[in-house]
Structure 1
């Protein structure tokens, strides 16, 4: 099984940005732990602050990965283009968030991605990614 973890804007700052919200562990440290916990699963990883690069990475995942764990960051609430890309690919996508978007500012309460992903996981810190991978491995399957 091959899973792509796709991270959006500012997630390259994980471990430094708002540690009271996002924690102090870097994403690279977490990714090592994640890979160690899923023997037999190949994890690809891509992060970009650029909307079009995230769309390109999602489209390239088609036929190369069995699933995508997507944290679109701020684009969750603003990007119709990313939503359309998720809807256009056949690879299953699970939306994840480190914090609970529903417990934050009101403008973060709406996910444009939620209607087109297999499911959404939020509020469990970096463990949200593990839960997203488990959902893909557990057979959330194709649309």
Structure 2
């Protein structure tokens, strides 16, 4: 069983964020605002449903899913697109593949050195974020 991703996590680093937002087609204005915001990630598991909350002082994004079950996702507040998402465990990594307008889009969460790592990818760009657990 993978390490539990559940908990509350504060961002400590965010690499290549603007480039991933450009790949997603996010406007210059929103990119400039978003690069200044520190994110808090809350991951919960209720039965077989995971809930991931990405919280900030500007916008919040919350979605839920079951592992190995494709679902319709509307990325409201992010890039406002509809996609089909599928989350699976690949070893100790929670990996999401998103099908829609953008190619090679998705994300991957895992725990390493007591930190939550997140890679976001879209059309050849990769953003790497690292979070520390909130005590």
Q: Higher strand proportion, which one?
A: 2
Q: TM-score range by the shorter chain?
A: 0.3 to 0.5
**TM-score, with length taken from structure 1:** 0.33
Q: Higher helix proportion, which one?
A: 1
**TM-score, with length taken from structure 2:** 0.34
